[in-house]
Amino acid sequence: MLKFSPRVLVFLRFILFHWIIFFLMRLAFFFLFSGAAGELELASILKAFYLGAKFDLRAVMWLLLPMLALSWLPLINLRKNRKFWTGFYAIASFFWFSLFFVDFGYFAYLNTRVNSSLITFLYNAKTSANMILENYPVGWGALATFVFVYIYANFLNRYVLRQNYFFVIKKSMPNVLGIIAFSVLFIGGLYGKFSYYPLRWSEAFFSPNNFTSNLALNPHLYLSKTLRHRNVTYDVERIKEDYEFLSEYFEVNNPDKDSLNFIRHIPAKEKSFEKMPNVVVIVMESFVAYKTGLWNNPIDAGPNVTALAKKGLYFSEYYVPVEGTARSMFALMTGVADLSKYKTASRNPMIVNQNVIMNYFDDYNKVYMLGGSANWGNIRGVFSNNVDGIDIVEEGDYSEDRVDVWGLSDYHLFKEAIRKLNSQPKDKSFFAVVQASSYHRPYTVPENIPGFQSVEKTEDELKYGGFISNQEYNSFRFSDYSLGEFMKWAKEQDWYENTLFVITGDHGVPDNGAPFRTKSRVEIETAPFHVPLIFYSEKLIPEAQEIKKVASEMDVMPSIASFVGIEYKNQAMGRDLFNPAYDSKRFALTYTYHRTGEYGLVGEGHYLKVKPNGRFLYQLDNEAGAVDLKEDKPELFQKMSKAADALLEFGKYMLYNNKPLVNKKAQLN
């Protein structure tokens, strides 16, 4: 049996004592604010308390860490100098308990938990202080805090930190097992869950209900997390200067420079569907365009995507704004380019609330599937917090086991997707986003996949096609093969004919100087942003077409809504690819977050690139290479420069200002 040493018993009492305090404060938060939160579901409230308990345990573990690490030192040894630790935690409790009161007041004022925006009130300290004194019982709060600290310190000294005898590590197995058990508890408390990815703040945003999500948060951890994202980098004055261009570019319904209105009300187009079409968006990992036959790669690793493109609407000049999967999924779903310099936008709790067009598909069942965990990149919050009733299917929900760090293989994920889509109610249409990830290091190709065989290419063939190894080449082939199998399986289902399939890549990869590519595209490095976009349906799109107009990832969701015939409001960066009104002014912004000051803009046949050492205008397809044409085409250069600067600043602004419409249906009317 386990036997805990006196010091470990102190640590365990410390954890339990503080965990109870944190729970009581969460309970107080619930009773204080639930009355104004509208109708609440019991299951959601219980889940919020469950998640909150895990966040609280993590906070307690961080609180314990100083004593755990330093109480062995002679001068502040826990046995000899209990008063030091009592005083240390009494002082600490003044601050962390005071934060609870600040948090309650902050929520009462702004309907959100305390976060890094608290710092902005310090810029007007006198006004903020007067507002607080006039609106909140500061005196009673201060008195309550001092009373709490007094009671807390006495209880801590008498009952929590007290040891009965000197701590000695004995070699007996029960003592060793006790230390191991405590270590597991401590590490588990910090990690937060039994899965590949740890507990993350985005799990608190499991519901579109604001109060429920806020109930699950721990204010101390949330404030700490948001402080890392406190620097807002957009320039409002620049947005106002560019407002005329931006409002015309996006065709804003009611332009208003003073309020910076960018809302566009897009009415539903008349459609003759007997039943609203299903939508399946398939996002393929690193599915760069040049590695397929669509761009005449001599060792085409994507014959299935090539065949689908030739049977559907293929956008050959389609670009994602930023490299990186989490950044791409954020842009796809929100219509806002992730222009964060360091951590991705999906990891920033300050911008988790976004107006998402998928949420306007009111009569649809909505599903998001990925082979790994939705905690990856905190992508869970983007979906669960913004899309009503979305069903997130992830690792742990499948019968198949993960094959590597990224979860299920594409083949098995697509098999699971067929099962999931077949289980949807027949009386409603569905909208599913399926995110594949096999074509990613370590390039794992599972064994015994029916019908798939790896092939070997020579080193020269691989180099000419832009591949670094046979392992990478076959990984791309496997991902493409899995997509082809999915389409075969889908064709056998009764929902196939009434389904729009939208197939794209999350981002591209460098071309490794592939000699078969146009020299200019190699030198100006378009490959990381250039991926295929295909709208495919045998019944709904009877005539295939290659569309060469410039398209951006932010355009995908507005275009799907337009195609299907869904009314929506948009205030982000995306526009309908099927609306000819935009055809004379189509651009695709690109942003290289890992290089200081580098961004670009794709226009018709040209690419503007901005670097720290200057601006350059290139022709996309030029066998002479990256020849700067700004002197030869000054008007085009000025036009694209203005557009690039305006869209870049607008993207930064929209990260923080694409808030969901509070009453969506009311505002549509």
| Whole-number Cα distances in Å, 646 to 330, 429, 641, 642 | 20, 38, 9, 6
pLDDT digits (tens, 9 = 90+) for 26-62: 999 999 988 766 678 899 899 999 999 999 999 999 9
In this structure, the answer to whether residues 156 and 249 fall within a common structural domain is no
Residue 481 corresponds to which amino acid? Y
Looking at 202, 227, 252, the residue that finishes a domain is 227
Return the CATH number at 331.
Answer: 3.40.720.10
Nearest to 331 by CA among 655, 103, 89: 655
Residue 101 in domain: yes
pLDDT digits (tens, 9 = 90+) for 52-108: 999 999 999 999 999 999 988 888 888 788 899 999 999 999 999 989 988 888 887
| pLDDT in the model for residue 166 | 42
Beta bridge partners of 368: 392, 433
Residue 596 in domain: yes
Residue 394 in domain: yes
pTM of structure:
0.78
In this structure, the answer to whether residues 402 and 288 fall within a common structural domain is yes
Q: What is the mean pLDDT of residues 384-407?
A: 89
Query: How many domains are there within the chain?
Result: 2
Confidence tier at 229 by pLDDT (50, 70, 90): low
Residue 124: is its pLDDT beyond 70?
no
Residue 204: is its pLDDT beyond 90?
no
Contact by Cβ (8 Å): 223, 55? no
Looking at 185, 203, 227, the residue that finishes a domain is 227
In this structure, the answer to whether residues 316 and 173 fall within a common structural domain is no
| pLDDT in the model for residue 167 | 44
| Phi-psi category of residue 525: left, alpha or beta, with phi > 0 → left and psi -120 to 50 → alpha | left
Comparing 40 with 556, which gets the higher pLDDT?
556
| pLDDT in the model for residue 165 | 44
In this structure, the answer to whether residues 146 and 250 fall within a common structural domain is no
In this structure, the answer to whether residues 207 and 297 fall within a common structural domain is no
Residue 1 in domain: no
Confidence tier at 440 by pLDDT (50, 70, 90): confident
Domain of residue 486, residue span = 236-668
Contact by Cβ (8 Å): 517, 511? yes
Confidence tier at 349 by pLDDT (50, 70, 90): confident
- Give the ranges where 71-136 is alpha helix by DSSP (H): 82-110, 125-135
Q: How far is CA 359 from the centre of its chain?
A: 16
Give the least confident one: 158-162, 174-178, 199-203, 321-325.
Answer: 174-178
pLDDT digits (tens, 9 = 90+) for 458-512: 999 999 999 999 999 999 999 999 999 999 999 999 999 999 999 999 999 988 8
Arithmetic mean of pLDDT over the chain: 89
